[in-house]
């Protein structure tokens, strides 16, 4: 039985760990050839090795999504190798500083990685996605903090809220080309980045204990999400199961935004 992405080409940014790695692995399992893009060459290579060991097809590319030249080079490489792109998963993001007393360079870096990188990856990927004969899908990782405010980091909420509205604009603009655009809005998810979020709270001392307590209080299902659960949502948005879904910000949050 053919996989849901059989014969398709997918590119996943920040695919060296966590949700990005889980998504790249699942896309490959479902038949896609995956361009594994990450800031860390070693992490990207580890993801590719895991995919290949499972019988999948992938190759690694190193890129800082905040660097325009590096982003452009990534899409030029995909075009040179494969000539088309069916799935662009703009997953790269960072927590950025908490609070409002944020140095300007840190502010710019958070916006460049979370928002600017997604914007220009979409721009550079458009021509390849338009060759996908109506099968093009762009996915963004936003956040529940892009749907509701974050007391710990208004900057993060601002950037991820921008990702949600970028997605909506792209969904409208690229629909005539047969390209869909949607965003996943994860709640607290069990990845290496999770302690970075909770560790920013004032007076934070025992981050692991605080994660358990805050997650139980904030998430109706009482636990963090798993990277595999985000990957399953990404697969849905990448494949034909969601062929009439575009412009949607999908919370995958254990009920966090249901309150």
Q: In the predicted model, what is the mean pLDDT of residues 119-146? A: 98
Phi-psi domain of 185 (left: phi exceeds 0; alpha: psi -120 through 50; beta: other): beta
pLDDT, tens digit, for every residue of 204-231? Answer: 566 677 777 778 888 999 999 999 999 9
Does residue 202 lie within any of the structural domains? no
Report the pLDDT value the prediction gives residue 233, as an integer from 0 to 100.
Answer: 98
Report the pLDDT value the prediction gives residue 206, as an integer from 0 to 100.
Answer: 64
Q: In the predicted model, what is the mean pLDDT of residues 104-128? A: 98
Report the pLDDT value the prediction gives residue 152, as an integer from 0 to 100.
Answer: 85
Does residue 215 lie within any of the structural domains? no
Q: What percent of the chain has pLDDT over 90?
A: 86
Does residue 136 lie within any of the structural domains? yes
Radius of gyration of the chain (CA): 17
Instruction: Kindly give, in sequence order, each residue whose CB lies less than 8 Å from that of residue 59, ignoring residues fewer than 6 positions away.
Output: 33, 34, 35, 36, 48, 81
Question: How many residues belong to the chain?
Answer: 259
Does residue 209 lie within any of the structural domains? no
Query: 199: pLDDT confidence band, cut at 50, 70 and 90?
Result: low
Measured distance CA(183)–CA(139) in Å, rounded: 5
Report the pLDDT value the prediction gives residue 212, as an integer from 0 to 100.
Answer: 75
Q: In the predicted model, what is the mean pLDDT of residues 86-99? A: 96
Report the pLDDT value the prediction gives residue 107, as an integer from 0 to 100.
Answer: 97
Report the pLDDT value the prediction gives residue 130, as an integer from 0 to 100.
Answer: 98
Report the pLDDT value the prediction gives residue 215, as an integer from 0 to 100.
Answer: 82
Query: 27: pLDDT confidence band, cut at 50, 70 and 90?
Result: very high
Does residue 1 lie within any of the structural domains? no
Report the pLDDT value the prediction gives residue 201, as an integer from 0 to 100.
Answer: 53
Domain that holds residue 110: 9-193+226-253
Does residue 165 lie within any of the structural domains? yes
Task: Decide: 34 and 15 in contact? Cβ < 8 Å.
Answer: yes
Does residue 182 lie within any of the structural domains? yes
Report the pLDDT value the prediction gives residue 200, as an integer from 0 to 100.
Answer: 52
pLDDT, tens digit, for every residue of 166-198? Answer: 999 999 999 999 999 999 999 999 887 777 666
Give, in order, the Cα–Cα distances in Å from 212 to each of 95, 167, 188, 202, 229.
19, 32, 11, 17, 19
Report the pLDDT value the prediction gives residue 214, as an integer from 0 to 100.
Answer: 77
Query: 122: pLDDT confidence band, cut at 50, 70 and 90?
Result: very high
Domains held by the chain: number: 1
pLDDT, tens digit, for every residue of 229-252? Answer: 999 999 999 999 999 999 999 999
Positions marked catalytic:
156
Q: What is the CATH number of the domain that holds 80?
A: 3.40.50.720
Report the pLDDT value the prediction gives residue 209, as an integer from 0 to 100.
Answer: 74
Q: In the predicted model, what is the mean pLDDT of residues 1-11? A: 94
Does residue 2 lie within any of the structural domains? no
Q: In the predicted model, what is the mean pLDDT of residues 153-172? A: 97
246: its two tokens: 């575009």
Report the pLDDT value the prediction gives residue 213, as an integer from 0 to 100.
Answer: 79
pLDDT at residue 256 is higher than 80: yes
Query: 203: pLDDT confidence band, cut at 50, 70 and 90?
Result: low
């Amino acid at each position: 039985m053919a996989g849901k992405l059989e014969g398709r080409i997918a590119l996943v940014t920040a695919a060296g760990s966590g949700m990005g790695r889980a998504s790249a692995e699942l896309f490959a399992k479902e038949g896609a050839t995956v361009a594994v893009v990450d800031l860390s060459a070693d992490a990207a290579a580890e993801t590719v090795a895991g995919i290949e060991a499972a019988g999948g097809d992938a190759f690694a590319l190193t890129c800082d999504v905040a660097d325009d030249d590096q982003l452009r080079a990534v899409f030029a490489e995909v075009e040179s190798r494969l000539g088309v792109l069916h799935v662009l998963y703009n997953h790269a993001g960072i927590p950025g500083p908490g609070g409002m007393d944020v140095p300007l360079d840190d502010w710019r870096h958070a916006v460049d990685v979370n928002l600017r990188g997604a914007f220009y990856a979409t721009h550079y990927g458009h021509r390849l996605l338009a060759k996908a004969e109506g099968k093009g899908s762009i996915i963004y990782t936003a956040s529940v903090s892009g749907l509701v405010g974050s007391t710990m980091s208004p900057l993060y909420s601002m950037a991820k809220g921008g990702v949600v509205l970028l997605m909506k604009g792209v969904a409208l603009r690229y629909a005539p080309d047969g390209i869909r655009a949607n965003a996943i809005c994860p709640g607290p998810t069990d990845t290496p980045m999770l302690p970075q979020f909770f560790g920013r709270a004032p007076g934070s001392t025992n981050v692991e204990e605080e994660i358990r307590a805050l997650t139980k209080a904030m998430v109706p299902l009482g636990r963090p999400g798993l990277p595999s659960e985000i990957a399953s949502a990404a697969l849905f948005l990448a494949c034909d199961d969601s062929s009439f879904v575009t412009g949607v910000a999908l919370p995958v949050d254990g009920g966090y935004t249901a309150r």
